[in-house]
Structure 1
Amino acid sequence: MNSSRDNDIPMSRKDMDESEEPFLPTPVQSRGEKQHPVSLIAAVVSFYFVISLSVVFLNKIIMSGSSDFPYALFVTWYQLVVALILLLIWASLGKSIIPPYEFNIAIAKKVAPLTFVYVGMLVMNNLCLKYVHVTFYQVARSLSINFTILFTLLILHKKTSLPALVACGIVFSGFVIGSYGEINFSWPGVFYGVGSSAFVALYGIYVQKTLAVVDNNQWKLLHYNTTLAIIFLSPLLLLSGEITDIMETSEIIYTSSFWVLMTITGVTGFGINIAMFLQVKYTSALTNTISGTAKSCVQTVLAAMIFKNEISALNGLGILLALIGSGYYSWVRYQERISK
């Protein structure tokens, strides 16, 4: 892959439909969209689907599935460590999309506010998965669009178009109806889902404000974010008492299968960065938008099949509205980008 300046142009997180990938810094988009073979585009989109779905399902299995390991801080910390190791290995290979690892204290101080938001996003996301079914996950975290518009107005002082507000109304309706109709409703799950949505929205805004510090290079930003997140989480992990609880009550940590699963999840978390980079590089913005919405639909259907989660009529309607609202918002944002 080339490393031209075109590959370093940031796309705001609010322009994307995705928000659950734990390590994604911010996608990039080239100024010109080139035509690529259909087989290549299909392979890239398929790779994105597999990696993105794996991140959600594997985290669910760890947090409250067959592994039943409800220690969100430790899970997040370990996955970040795996991601950092992979970053170091990949960057050391040379001539790759990831530049050599760097960590400058002066730059780190400027990136730190973003990392606080980043850590909140990751932890809230895993806590949400701990308490809600994956079928309800999309609904519980659907308000990131609404928070994005709110924070854009309050922080960036930018107004939003009427079609985007309509999309937000649809998403909010889906959230309310889906929550009311959820059979296994969980207040903690909804709280963490809403919190995660708020952090996702803040993250997208802070990324825009921080990218200039790292020469608009999203991979350098990932270096700092991942390193600082591990540093910030380490004392929280010790103070939370999770380490003590794990050592005293969790027998699963003494099995190799658990650590294999945890490591694979960390690898897929890192892999989503590569998948998003390839998808934005080799597909159009429209394909990227459709892909994100389609992935959410597939995620909900597969979750119902794999985890056998019962879905009520109201819950199903809420899920549908959340997906329609998210898809419509992505379409509106795409139309606004190409009209500029």
Structure 2
Amino acid sequence: MYTLLEGPKESLVKKYVRIFFVVAAYWIISITTVFVNKELFNGQHVKLNATLFVTWFQCVVTTCICMTGTFLSRRFPKLVPLNFPEAYPLRKETIKNVIPLSIMFTMMISTNNLCLRYVSVAFYYVGRSLTTIFNVILSYIFLKEKQSFKSIICCAVIISGFYLGVDQESLTDTFSLIGTIFGIIGSFALSMYSIYTKKTLPFVNGEVWLLSYYNNFYSVILFLPLIVISGEVHEVLNYEHIGKLWFWMTMIIGGICGFLIGYVTTLQIKVTSPLTHNISGTAKACAQTILATSWFNEIKSFLWWFSNMVVLVGSFAYARVKQVEMAQRHRDAHNSQKL
């Protein structure tokens, strides 16, 4: 009996261990990326008013990393044991299937970074806390999926926490209305990106690396008109440190972080689900908020912290409600098959 159960048990343990390390990697890389990007966008040393250009450069670095990895794995298979799949970003079929996701990806990283530029790292969590709400709305619009009363209550809790957080932040010198608006748009884009990722992964045979390559390759092109329209070309050309080695080294570090966060984000969605990814992001952001207030020596009011807890509790409660409902549907379907 022990021998018969050992295989499935071992397989299940490996599955949960893998999920744990993927989620842990997402947390570490995501928090590091936020702090690095904050320094790049409006830190005391860089001071470059060109958020979209910095984001574009990170996509360039990621694309170069993916291209280099693919080339080396093909040319020197013994030195590079990883088998990177062949990529065909200019193929018509690839563009047709992946470009909708890449548009959402471009929208997501640009609005998230613009939000981070204008708001404090501590408020960045609450400013982007409406992803679950957009998940509910988009599920109803695209899938005609109705929500239970408990789910609606959880959403109301999240919205109230967001409203309280904005109200408390508005009493401080760090509040930014435009940053908050970008945060709301970023929440919408993240929700759309999670949904489209699940739809697009089968096209690339579940290859996270390949999807990351395509997203960044297309984003490099999609960002160009945005940079021109925003007027950032003038900012970059007249930047006082444009020829300094330390500046480009900092940019490359930010690009490597951008590559890693794009990869682990897609990987977390793959090994869990869009909903679990959003909940993981919410919990991670809570830890990030605590680190940020400590790092930047920010003192927040009780109601400010309470708003963060309200959003966190509402998000976790929603995840639990959906988990119970999905389990019930599975049991009902199983019982109906028996009948």
Q: TM-score range by the shorter chain?
A: 0.7 to 0.9
Q: Which residue of 1 aligns with 2:242?
A: 253
Flag the 1:106–1:40 CA change in 2: closer, same or farther, 3 A: closer
TM-score (norm 1): 0.79
User: Are 1:79 and 2:65 counterparts?
Assistant: no
User: Are 1:48 and 2:26 counterparts?
Assistant: yes
Question: Which amino acid in structure 1 is aligned with residue 38 of structure 2?
Answer: K
Candidates 100, 106, 109, aligned match of 2:86: 100
Question: Which amino acid in structure 1 is aligned with residue 61 of structure 2?
Answer: V
Deviations 1:105-140 (A, max 9, x none): 232033222222221111100100011111111111
> What CA distance in whole angstroms lies between the structure 1 residues aligned with 2:40 and 2:109?
15
> What CA distance in whole angstroms lies between the structure 2 residues aligned with 1:44 and 1:334?
20
User: Are 1:122 and 2:109 counterparts?
Assistant: yes
Cα contact 2:114–2:182 (8 A) shared by 1: yes
TM-score (norm 2): 0.79
Deviations 1:33-68 (A, max 9, x none): 621499988766554332111111111111122223
Question: What SS does the corresponding residue of 1:96 show, helix, strand or coil?
Answer: coil
User: Are 1:140 and 2:145 counterparts?
Assistant: no
Q: 1:188 deviation in Å?
A: 0.3
Question: Which amino acid in structure 1 is aligned with residue 216 of structure 2?
Answer: T
Q: Which runs of 5+ in 1 are unaligned?
A: 1-31
> What CA distance in whole angstroms lies between the structure 2 residues aligned with 1:211 and 1:40?
19
Flag the 1:132–1:166 CA change in 2: closer, same or farther, 3 A: same
Q: Which residue of 1 aligns with 2:150?
A: 163
Q: Which residue of 2 aligns with 1:64?
A: 42
Q: Which residue of 2 aligns with 1:35?
A: 13
Q: 1:87 deviation in Å?
A: 1.2
Question: Which amino acid in structure 2 is aligned with residue 86 of structure 1?
Answer: I
> What CA distance in whole angstroms lies between the structure 2 residues aligned with 1:121 and 1:286?
17
* CA-atom RMSD in angstroms: 3.2
Q: Which residue of 1 aligns with 2:118?
A: 131
Greater Cα shift, 120-129 or 61-70: 61-70
Q: Which residue of 2 aligns with 1:204?
A: 194
Flag the 1:282–1:130 CA change in 2: closer, same or farther, 3 A: closer
> What CA distance in whole angstroms lies between the structure 1 residues aligned with 2:134 and 2:163?
15
Question: Which amino acid in structure 1 is aligned with residue 87 of structure 2?
Answer: Y
**Aligned positions, number:** 308
Greater Cα shift, 171-180 or 224-233: 224-233
Greater Cα shift, 275-284 or 43-52: 275-284
Q: Which residue of 2 aligns with 1:237?
A: 227
Q: Which residue of 2 aligns with 1:14?
A: none
Question: What SS does the corresponding residue of 2:13 show, helix, strand or coil?
Answer: coil
Question: What SS does the corresponding residue of 1:252 show, helix, strand or coil?
Answer: coil
Candidates 170, 183, 192, aligned match of 1:193: 183
User: Are 1:89 and 2:68 counterparts?
Assistant: yes
For residues 166-315 of structure 1, what are the structure 2 equivalents within 5 Å?
A: 166-182=153-169, 183=172, 184-248=174-238, 250-275=239-264, 292-315=281-304
Flag the 1:283–1:172 CA change in 2: closer, same or farther, 3 A: closer
Q: Which residue of 2 aligns with 1:111?
A: 98
Q: 1:314 deviation in Å?
A: 2.3
Q: 1:86 deviation in Å?
A: 1.2
> What CA distance in whole angstroms lies between the structure 2 residues aligned with 1:193 and 1:283?
24
Flag the 1:56–1:330 CA change in 2: closer, same or farther, 3 A: farther
Question: What SS does the corresponding residue of 1:152 show, helix, strand or coil?
Answer: helix
Greater Cα shift, 271-280 or 129-138: 271-280
Deviations 1:276-333 (A, max 9, x none): 5776899999998886454222201100011223322222221111122222233334
Cα contact 1:63–1:130 (8 A) shared by 2: yes
User: Are 1:152 and 2:139 counterparts?
Assistant: yes
> What CA distance in whole angstroms lies between the structure 2 residues aligned with 1:117 and 1:48?
20
Deviations 1:193-232 (A, max 9, x none): 0111111122223334434443444433323221111111
Q: Which runs of 5+ in 2 are unaligned?
A: 1-9, 74-80, 331-339
Q: 1:244 deviation in Å?
A: 1.5
Question: Which amino acid in structure 2 is aligned with residue 175 of structure 1?
Answer: F
Cα contact 1:181–1:313 (8 A) shared by 2: no
Cα contact 1:134–1:300 (8 A) shared by 2: yes
| Structure having greater relative contact order (Cα 8 Å, sep ≥ 6) | 1
Cα contact 2:53–2:227 (8 A) shared by 1: yes
Question: Which amino acid in structure 1 is aligned with residue 120 of structure 2?
Answer: H
% identical aligned pairs: 35
Flag the 1:310–1:205 CA change in 2: closer, same or farther, 3 A: same
Q: Which residue of 2 aligns with 1:330?
A: 319
